[in-house]
Amino acid sequence: MTLPSERTLPRLFLILLLAVLALAGWQWRDGAPLSANLMELVPGTAPDALELRAEQRMQEPLNREMLVLVGHKDRQQAVAMAQKLGEQWQASGLFEKVQWTLQADLPALRTQLLQGRLAMLSATDRQQLIEHPDAFIQQRVQALFDPFTGFSLVPSQDDWLGLTGRIQNSQPQHGSVQLDIGSGALVADADGKSWVLLRARTTGNAFDMNLPLQVADLLKHSREEAAQSDVQLLAASGLLYAAAGQQQATREMTWVGGGATVGILLLLLLAFRRWRVLLAFVPVLVGMLFGAVACVALFGHMHVMTLVLGSSLIGVAVDYPLHYLSKSWSLKPWHSWPALRLTLPGLTLSLITSCIGYLALAWTPFPALTQIAVFSAAGLLGAYLSAVCLLPALLKGADLRPAQWPLRVSEYLLDRREALLRIARTPVLLALLIAFCVGGLLQLDSKNDIRQWVGAPQQLTDEAQTIARITGYQPTSQFFLVRAANQQALLERQTALSERLDQLVNLDKLQGYLSLNQLVSQPHEQHKVREALNKLPQFWQPLLDVGVPLEALKTELATLQALPVEDIDSALAGPLAEPWRTLWLGPTEDGVAAMVSLQGLNNPALLRVQARDLPGVELVDRLGELNNVFAQTQISAAELKLASCVLIVLVLILPFGLGGALRIVSLPLLAALCSLASLGWLGQPLTLFSLFGLLLVTAISVDYAILMREQVGGAAVSLLGTLLAALTTWLSFGLLAVSSTPAVSNFGLSVSLGLAFSFLLAPWAGRQVHATSVAESAA
C-alpha cells in the first residue's frame, strides 16, 4: 500500500522542519522579533523626507508623554496628591522626567526678554510705537504707577520703555491653565474641582513592548491610591492607547486562537471519534511556524496585527488533512496514504488557488496586508507539506470509523436542495439571488477611516476629551509645513499664513496656532522698530516729568540701538521659546523649513483652502491622506480580486476545462456579491477590510467548488467535506468578528458571510465527473 516515495517523504520533511525550526530559533535569539508600531502597517504616504521628519517631530511626544490631571474640590489636596504621585512616579524608574511644578529660570527669562526687545515685540505694540509714540509713552507712565499691571520680570531701570513688559503681556495665552503661585503647580478649575497638571515623559516610547503596560499599571495603582483620598485622576497619552491595544490584542488572541483551536479539535473528535485524529492539528502548527519564519525572514520582524489576523489561518490549514480524513466516510477501510493519493490533485489545486488569493493581498499598498499575505502563503505551504508528507505517516494504521450523523446531515441538506430545485429551477433561484444582491447593494455605504484600525476604549477617549475641555488645549494632528529659501523669506511666508489663520481664529473656526513669526519678527520689522525708537526722544517728556533721569533713557536707547538683529536660531535659544522649538526644522536641502501647529480645529477643509495660493506653504494632514489612500485602495482591491480570479481560472482550465473553471470561479464571486449585499441589508458599512475579507474568501471558497465538483466519494461525502472545511474556517475567521478593533471585526464579518454563501452555493459547481478525477480514482 505504501509506495517507496512515501517512506522517504516523511524523513525529508522532518529534515526540512528541523531546518526551519533552527532558523526560527536563530531569528528569536534576541527575543521576539515582534513589532507593535501601527504606523508601520499603514501605507507610507509621505514621499518627502522633510515631511516625514516633520511628522515624526510632531508625533514623538505623543508616544512618550503622559498628561495627568489630578482633581479635588480642595486645591491644596489636589496639589499635595500631585506632588506625592510625582515623587512616586519619579522613583518608579519608568520616566525620564516627571513634572508637576513650573521650574521657571527667571534670570534666563530676563536675559531673553532684554535681548529680544526689538525682535519679540508683538505686531500691535510695534504699530503703536511706530504710529503713536506719544500714546506709547503715556501708557508706560501709567504702568509705572499702576499697582495692578506694574509687575514686570525685568526691573524698571533695565527697561524704562517697558518693552519687556509688553512682550510679556503679548505672549499668546493658552487654555485655562493657571499658575498657582504658591506651589508653582499649574492648575485649571472646572466642574467644581481644581485640577493640577502632572506631566511625565517616559524613558522609551509607546512601541516598546512592556513599557505601555507598566505605565498603565502604575496609573491604575495611582488612581486607586488617589481615590482613597477622594482625588480623581484623568490621563491622556499615546502610551495608554498602546497599553489598551496590547491588552485587547492579548484578549482577542486568546479568544480567536483558543476558541478556534478548541472548536476545531472538538469538531474533529465529534466527527471522527478517535484521539489520533487530533494529529490533524500538526499541519496547523507547522503552518504557523512557516508563516512566522517567512515573515521575519522577509520583513525583519513580524507585526502583532499579522499574528491576530494570521491566527485565523488555523481554520484554513486544518482543511488539508480534513480533505482526506473526510474520505473515511466513503473509503472503507480507510488508509492514510491511498486516501492522500486520491485527494492530492484537489489538495494541490486548493493550495495554489488559496495562495493566489492571499498573495493578491500582497499587492495592496498596505504593509499590513503584505505581511499577512506572506505569513498566510508560507503558512499554507507549510501546512500543505506537512499534510502531504508527514501526516499520512503519523496516521498510518489508524482505523477511522467516523460518526455517521454528519453524513446524514449532509444527505438531508442535499435532499432539501433537491426539494427546493423541484419548486424553483436554478434560473429562478438565480434571479431571486440577484434581486437580493441588487437590493442589498443599493443600501451599501462605504466608509473608510484610519480610526477603524484602533479599537480605543471609550473611557480613554472620553478622558482625553475631558482633559482637552478642562485645560483648553485641543491640538490637532494637522499642521502646516512652510518652506523658503532663507529665514527672512520663511518668516514672510509664515506672516502671510498667520494673517489668514488669524481670520479663522476671529471667526472661531480655529482656537489658536503656534508659528515662529509670533516669537521673532522679520528682520525688516526689527529695523522699523529701531527707526521708531530713534524718534522717541521727542515724545518722552512725560517720563522725565515723573522722575526718570534723561541719562538713563539715553543709555537705554543706545543699548537698544546696539541690539543685533535676531534670527530664528538665537530667538529659539531662550526659555521663552520652548513651545516653538519643535516647530523649527532648520536648514534643508533647498533652504529652511518650519511647521505651524494648530489648536482646536473644527473644519479641516478650511485649512486646505488657506494654503492654496501661498507659495511654500503646505498642509500636512496624515489622517486625511490615509483615509484617501483607503478609499483608493478599495478600488484597487476590487481590481486585484478580479485579477486573482482570472489567474485562478487559468489554473483551473487544465483540470476542469474553460467552462468548468468559469463555473467554479463564478460561484465564489457570486458568494462575494451576496456578502456585499448582506452587509447592505445588515446596515454594516463596506470598508476596505470587508473588501479584503471578500478577496480572501474568494480564494478559499474556490476550494469548496472544486471539492463539490470532483465529488470523490459521492455528493453527500463531498458536501460533508465542504461543510467541515467551511466550519473550521469559519471557527477561526468568524471569531475575528467579535474583535473590538473595527477593522478586524469587519474583516471577520465579511469572511463569515462569504463562507456561508460559498457553502450554500457550492453544490452548483456541477456534478459531472471528468477525466482527471476518473484517472485519480483509478490510481
Q: Which of residues 692-751 bind other proteins (CB under 8 A)?
A: 741, 744
Q: Does 451 bind other proteins (CB under 8 A)?
A: yes
Compute the least distance from the CB of residue 673 to other proteins, in Å.
30
Measured in Å, how far apart are the chain's first and last C-alpha atoms?
A: 12
At residue 738's C-alpha, the angle toward residues 735 and 744, to 5°, is 85
User: Which residue pairs, CB below 8 angstroms and at least 24 apart, start in 354-359?
Assistant: 354/316, 354/380, 354/699, 354/700, 354/702, 354/703, 355/380, 355/381, 355/699, 356/644, 356/647, 356/648, 356/651, 356/699, 357/644, 357/648, 357/695, 357/696, 357/698, 357/699, 357/700, 357/702, 358/696, 358/699
Site for other proteins in 120-149 (CB under 8 A): 141-142, 144-149
In the complex, minimum distance from the CB of residue 291 to other proteins, in angstroms, rounded to a whole number = 8
Q: Among residues 280 and 288, whose Cβ is nearest to other proteins?
A: 288
Q: Is 768 in the site for other proteins (CB under 8 A)?
A: no
Which among 164-172, 319-327, 611-619, 669-677 is the span making contact with other proteins, rule CB under 8 A? 164-172
Length of the chain as a residue count: 779
Please tell me whether residue 518 binds other proteins under the rule CB under 8 A.
Answer: no
Number of shown-chain residues binding other proteins (CB under 8 A): 133
Q: Does residue 541 belong to the site contacting other proteins (CB under 8 A)?
A: no
User: The cell 536707547 sits on which residue?
Assistant: 557
Stretch 549-588: interaction string toward other proteins, x if CB under 8 A: x--x----------------------xx-xxxxx------
Please list every residue from 99 through 118 that binds other proteins, using CB under 8 A.
Answer: 99, 101-106, 109
Indicate the residue among 25 and 150 with the shorter CB distance to other proteins: 150
Q: From the list 45, 83, 156, 627, which residue makes contact with other proteins (rule: CB under 8 A)?
A: 156
For residue 223, the minimal CB distance to other proteins (Å) is 17
Strands (E), 456-504: 475-484
Residues 263-292 touching other proteins, rule: CB under 8 A, are 285, 288-289, 292
**Residue closer to other proteins, measured from CB, 22 or 435:** 22
Question: Which one, 311 or 521, has the nearer CB to other proteins?
Answer: 311
Q: Which three cell numbers stand for residue 473?
A: 488645549
Q: What is the 3-state secondary structure (H, E, C) of 619-657?
A: EECHHHHHHHHHHHHHHHHHHHHHHHHHHHHHHHHHHHH
The whole-angstrom separation of Cα 97 and Cα 89 is: 9
Give me the amino acid identity at 379. G
**Interface positions, 224-243, toward other proteins (CB under 8 A):** 236-239, 241-243
Round to whole Å and give the CA distance between 729 and 740.
20
DSSP per-residue string spanning 7-53: HHHHHHHHHHHHHHHHHHHHHTTTS--EE--GGGTS-----SHHHHH
Of 109 and 267, the one with the shorter C-beta distance to other proteins is 109
The DSSP call for residue 737 is: T
Task: Please identify, using beta-carbon distances, which residue of 142 and 503 lies nearer to other proteins.
Answer: 142
Query: 26-55: which residues touch other proteins (CB under 8 A)?
Result: 32, 34, 36-39
Binding to other proteins in span 455-514, by CB under 8 A: 455-456, 460-461, 464-465, 467-468, 471, 473-477, 514
Restricted to residues 431-450, the positions that interact with other proteins (CB under 8 A) are 450
- Grid coordinates given for 544: 522725565
Within residues 603-662, the interface with other proteins by CB under 8 A covers 623
Stretch that binds other proteins, among 62-70, 494-502, 682-690, 764-772 (CB under 8 A): 62-70
The distance of closest approach from Cβ of residue 161 to other proteins in the complex, given in angstroms and rounded to an integer, is 14
Longest dimension (CA), the chain: 120
Asked if 181 touches other proteins (CB under 8 A), the answer is yes
Q: Phi/psi at 589 (nearest 5 deg)?
A: -60, -40
The stretch near other proteins (CB under 8 A) out of 2-10, 64-72, 702-710, 730-738 is: 64-72
C-alpha dist (Å) from residue 762 to 132, 313, 396, 425: 87, 21, 31, 16
Smallest distance, Å, CB 714 to other proteins? Answer: 37
Minimum distance of other proteins from residue 92's CB (angstroms): 18
Look up residue 389 and give its DSSP letter: I
Name residue 302's beta-bridge partners: 34
Binding segment (CB under 8 A) for other proteins, from list 114-122, 166-174, 385-393, 432-440:
166-174
Q: To the nearest whole angstrom, how small is the minimum distance from the Cβ of residue 227 to other proteins?
A: 22
Nearest distance in Å: CB 266, other proteins: 17
In the complex, minimum distance from the CB of residue 10 to other proteins, in angstroms, rounded to a whole number? 23
Q: Is 186 a binder of other proteins (CB under 8 A)?
A: yes
- Decide whether 81 or 548 has the Cβ nearer to other proteins: 548
Closest by alpha carbon to 61, among 243, 214, 238?
A: 238
Q: Is 330 an interacting residue with respect to other proteins (CB under 8 A)?
A: no
Grid cell for residue 479 = 499642521
**Judged by CB, which is closer to other proteins: 313, or 342?**
313
Window 297-316: contact mask with other proteins (x via CB under 8 A): -------xx-xx--x-----
Rounded CA-CA distance 145/127 in Å is 24
Q: Which of residues 240-259 bind other proteins (CB under 8 A)?
A: 241-246, 248-250, 252-254, 257-258
Distance, in Å, from the CA atom of 168 to the CA atom of 653, rounded to the nearest integer, reads 80
Using the rule CB under 8 A, which residue among 209, 265, 331, 662 binds other proteins? 209
Closest approach, Cβ 711 to other proteins, in A, equals: 35
**Distance separating alpha carbons of residues 533 and 62, to the nearest angstrom:** 44
Among 178, 538, 628, 636, binds other proteins (CB under 8 A): 178
The secondary element (H helix, E strand) that includes residue 113 is helix 106-115
What b-and-e string marks burial along 701-733, b requiring 16 or more CB atoms within 10 Å of the CB? Answer: bbbbbbbbbbbbbeebbbbbbbbbbbbbbbbbb
- In this chain, which of 25, 150, 300, 586 binds other proteins, going by CB under 8 A? 150
Q: Which is nearer to other proteins, 175 or 406 (CB)?
A: 175
